[in-house]
């Protein structure tokens, strides 16, 4: 499996024995310093798992917005943007109709005999 790869030709150094010399972000669950590559890798996988879980939109369904069957975050935002734009068009049309009716009512109030 590792034959022919650089890592297959090197002396094995286990991740728990390899010091991590970088910094960890504030949102990391690691504390105390002096981390191993194993600890930082585990922390990264934990963070990625949480992000993936938080971004899961499979249960996102609505009566007024149609989402793709396999929904991704970008798909959800695009569906919302389309819906908002459609609603804005409807609102603008209705506002124009209300303004016209208001003008007609005011005209009738000013001169009820015409």
Residue 69: pLDDT band by 50, 70, 90 thresholds? confident
How many residues are given for the chain?
114
The band of 20, judged by pLDDT with boundaries at 50, 70 and 90, is: very high
Report pLDDT for 71. 83
Collect all residues with Cβ–Cβ distance below 8 Å to 30 and sequence separation of at least 6. Answer: 24, 39, 40, 43
The ranges assigned to domains in the chain are: 12-54, 58-114
pLDDT, average across residues 81-99: 95
């Amino acid at each position: 499996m590792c034959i022919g790869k650089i890592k297959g030709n090197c002396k094995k150094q286990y991740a728990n024995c390899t010091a991590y010399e970088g910094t960890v972000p504030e949102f990391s669950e690691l504390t105390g310093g002096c981390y191993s590559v194993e600890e930082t890798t585990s922390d990264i996988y934990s963070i990625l798992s949480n992000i993936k879980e938080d971004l899961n939109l499979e249960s996102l369904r609505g009566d007024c917005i149609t989402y793709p069957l396999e929904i991704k975050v970008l798909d959800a935002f695009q569906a919302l943007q389309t819906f908002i734009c459609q609603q804005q068009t409807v609102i603008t049309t209705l506002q124009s109709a209300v303004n016209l009716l208001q003008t007609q009512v005011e005209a009738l109030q000013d001169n009820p005999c015409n």
